[in-house]
Amino acid sequence: VNPNRTLHTTTIGARTLLCSAAGRMIGPPHPGVPLAYGTAGFRARADLLDSTFFRMGALAVLRSRSRGGLAVGLMVTASHNAEPDNGIKLVDPDGGMLDVSWEPHASAVANAADADLAAALDAVADAVGVVSAGGGRVLVARDTRPHSERLSALALDGVSHLGGAGEDFGLLTTPQLHHIVRHANGGAAGGAHVGPAAWASEGGYAEMLCTAFAALLPPDLGGGGLRAPLTVDCACGVGGPQLAPIAQRLPPLPPLP
């Protein structure tokens, strides 16, 4: 388990969605620039995304509640975009991308007028049949961009605003968060082909990869010209610090010829 993980939760006695009264601004103000959710989630200049991160934290709680409280994920990253950009994508309970039927909900909530945010969240709840104000588990991770920690905190604020339980996993790659969400839910979301519950962690991800890698190694790896140097491009990002501990756990290999 990530020793730096922080649990964020709160309880607010209000109507179904635990939102502030309609007509009051909730969270950071909208920047006035329309945003659309796609395969890569939301991506834009980081200084335009404060409201989007807060709102996606709230939406993630609704997604979790719509699946009976199963964990969902929020990944703070713009992948290979330039450093001034950032982005956020939702991870579904099975560890896959957000179901496409929810993409319009994400865009509607992200672009709602400040005074209409509570109504926009209510509309999503009505559309997907969320009737309970309890529950909702959201796992949040981020990359190494200088603004990612601040934006991640805003997403966790949005989770707390709707009374959900947010867990901060700190620095992870996108595949690591997808893996953790999938294994946190186990067979309830991922079906039969899910590893042990102990894999629902950063260390569990490394164990899975290293175990599979060791099983793939041929017995005659040291000869016959089967080996060559491997260079991993981590794009000056979170891949570098995350790859190092995985490399240390790999089985010892014979020297290159």
Among 46, 20, 36, 8, smallest CA distance to 165 is for: 8
Looking at 79, 132, 152, 201, which residue is catalytic? Answer: 79
150 near 54, Cβ under 8 Å?
A: no
79 is catalytic: yes
CB-side neighbour CA atoms (13 Å) of 67: 23
- DSSP code string of 171-211: E--HHHHHHHHHHHHTHHHHTT----GGGSSHHHHHHHHHH
Among 240, 241, 251, 238, smallest CA distance to 209 is for: 251
Alpha carbons 116 and 88: distance in angstroms, whole number: 22
Residues in the chain: 257
154 near 57, Cβ under 8 Å?
A: yes
Residue with tokens 């709160």: 10
Residue with tokens 């981590």: 234
Structure token pair of residue 65: 């509640």
Residue 137 sits at φ, ψ, to 5 deg, of -125, 125
Active-site annotation, residues: 79
